Structure 1
Amino acid sequence: MGRFPALGWNSWNAGGCSAASASMAIKTANAFISLGLKDAGYQYINIDDCWSTMSRNSSGYLVADPNKFPQGMKAVADQVHSLGLKFGLYGCAGTKTCAGYPGSQGYEDKDAKLLASWGVDYWKHDNCYTPCKQGSVQTCGNPSGSTQTWYAKMRDALANSGRPIFYSLCNWGRDNVWTWGNQTGQSWRMSVDNWNDWASVVRIASSAAPIAQYSGPYGYNDLDMMQIGNGKLTAAEERTHFGLWAMSKSPIILGTDLTKLSSDRLALVKNSAILAVNQDALSIAATTFRPSGAAAPVSGQIYPYWAGPLSDGSVVLGLVTANGATTLSVNFADVPGLGAGTFSWTELFSGKTGSGTSVSASLSSHDMAMYKVSKSKTHK
C-alpha cells in the first residue's frame, strides 16, 4: 500500500459538497472503466467532505448521509470493489471538517474501525478546527501545538483498524510535514490548496522543487488535486500542471466530472508515458537544475529546467515556459545523470523522437515539453 504515488479521483473539485454522493461515486467508477482510466492505472474513487450527517449517532459513530448514500457506505465500497477499484473517504483531524461536519478529534479509533468495517481503502485527513490559540476556527493561523501530534493519532488508529488504509495527510504543508510525513502516512500535502489558476500551479510547483528529496517509495509530496477540465487553465497550463505533478511524483488525483472531459484532456491524463514517469520504480522526484549560463532560480517562480532519474537508466527532462512564449534549449552535458555525447530522446506529450547532444523546444506561454532521454549513446 502506498508504494507508488496514488492515481485516482476526488469529488471535491468536481462539485464540492454536491458531488459527495453514492451516485457520483458509482458514475465515476463506471467512467474509470468505460474511458480506460482503470486500464491506465487510476484506481481510487474518493469522496471528499460532506458525506456524513451533521452529528454522530448515540454511540458516537459517524453516519453516512442517508439521502446521499441511501444504501449506506459499505454498499458503495462493495460496488467500487466489484469493478476492481478502490474506495476512499475524507475526514478531519479537528472537531469539525472544513465544511462543518463531524471531525475525528477524540474519535480516531472509532472512526478508523468504522472505515475498516465499510471497506474503505483511502482516508484523506484534513486540518480544519484543530487546536488553536484563537479558539475553534476553520483555518487556524496560530495553532496550539503541532499538526504532527494529531496526525500521528489517526495514523495509529488506522494501523490498528484491521484493514490496510492509505493515509493521505492534508495539513497544507504545515510544520515542515515533508520532514516527518513518511513516518506518518503515504502522502502529505506540501502546500495550501490548488485554487484552479495558473498562480496556484506556479506557487505549488516552485515550492515542490526544493523538497523533492523527501519523496520516495511509500511516501510522497502531494501537490494537491488536479484542476484539469475545470475551465480555468489553458491547454498549455494543463500540460504543465499534469507534467510537473507527474515528474514530482505527486499523487495524480483527478477532480472533475469525468463524463464531461474532452477527448484532448482525457488523452492528457491517460498519457501512458507520463504516467510511467510518475509510477517509475525508482520513485525519485524530479527537481530543478541550472544549465551553464542560465539565470539563477527565483523564489516563487517556476524554473524552466527540471530533471530526474528513472529506473531503466534514462532521465526525464522537463522544459517549462513560465513567463511567456520562448524557445528553450539545453545541452545534455548540463543535465544531471546524462553527460557529453549523443543521446536519443522521446518527447512525451507529442511522441516525437530524435537524437543529438542537446534538445530545443519552441513553446507557447506557460507550456511544457517533457523528454525521456536515453543514457545509451546512439551510434552512427
Structure 2
Amino acid sequence: MGQRRPHRTTTRGLALLATGAMLLTGAACTSQKAASSGGDSGGKIKIGLVTKTDSNPYFVELRESAKAEADKSGAELIALAGKFDGDNDGQVAALENLVQQGVKAILVTPSNSTGILGAIKQARDKGILVIALDTRTDPESAVDATLATDNTEAGRLEGQYVKAALGDRPPAVIMLDGTPGGTVDQQRHDGFLQGIGLAEGAPQILGAEPTNGDQNKAQQAMENLLQRNSSVNAVYNINEPAARGGQAALQARGLTDGVVVGAIDGGCQGVRDVQAGKYAVTVMQFPKKMAEQGVQAGVEFARTGKKLSGFVNTGAVVITDKPVPGVDSKDTAWGLQNCWG
C-alpha cells in the first residue's frame, strides 16, 4: 500500500504481482520461500520480493503473480513482507535477508519511501537489481526502476468521478486515508482533492483519519468521524478494504442513501462490491502486470546484465455501473474479466 499511487480520464494498462511458499526465518518480517524440485534451488536464479504485508489481498495477488512468473521463467521467488502496512523495520530486515540469500534482483513495495533507502543502497552496492513495485521511493533514483500505478492519477480519477456523481450538490467529504507519511497514500489523497476540486483543509472536508488501508480501522475511523458530523455525501477511500469498512459504518447509521463512495484497487471482490452497490466506483490497478514485468526484468538482468530503468506506468481504469459525463469508465462485467489481471 501494496502504494503501491493520476490525472486524466483515460483508461490504461493492466498489472499484478507475486508469491512464495515455505516459511523462512526473519526477525521483523514474514517470509516465504518458493519450493523447488529436489528441495533446493537447483542453481535457479533467485528473485526476491518484499511487500508491505502478506495479508492485504492486493499484495497477496501481487505475490502470487510474481511466483507464477518466476516458475514460468525457471527462477526461484523468495517472498518476504512487513508485519503490517508501515513496518519499515520489517522491510529493511527483509532486504538484508534477501541479500544474504544471494538474490540477483529484489522487487519491493516500500512502506516508507525514505526509510528503506539505506537497505536498498546496500543491495545495489552488491550488484543486485532493485525495482520498486506499486510505490515509488523518494528519490525515485534510489532504485533502478519503478513499476507502478500513477497514484496521483488514480486519486484524481476517483475525485473526478465523485464530483460528477454529486451533480449540483456541494461536496461534504469524509476522507479515509492510508498510512501517514506513505508516498502512495499522500499521492492518492492529493489526487482526489485535485479531482473533486478542493484545497487541503477546505471546509467541505468534514474530517479525515488514517486507516492503514485496513477494513476494521476504517470502520472505526468512519464511526468516529460520523459522531462529529454526519452530513456526509461523499467518501474518499485509500483502497477497497477501507471502503468496505467505511461503508459498514455508514450502513450501521442508516446513512448510505445519497452518499457517493469511491475506492482504489480494482480487486475482484472490489468489483463485486461495486456491482452490488456497496460503493459507486473503484479505480482498477494492475498488480499482475507489475509483478510479471518485475520478475521478467530480474531474470533478464541475471542472464544478460541488462537493467530496466525509469518509471513504467502500469495503468488505472475507472470501474462503475453508473457512468458519469466526462469520466471514461468500464462496467463491472469488464472489471470482473480484468480484475487484477
TM-score (normalised: structure 2) = 0.34
Structure with bigger RCO (C-alpha 8 Å, 6+ apart): 2
TM-score (normalised: structure 1) = 0.31
Bigger CA radius of gyration: 1
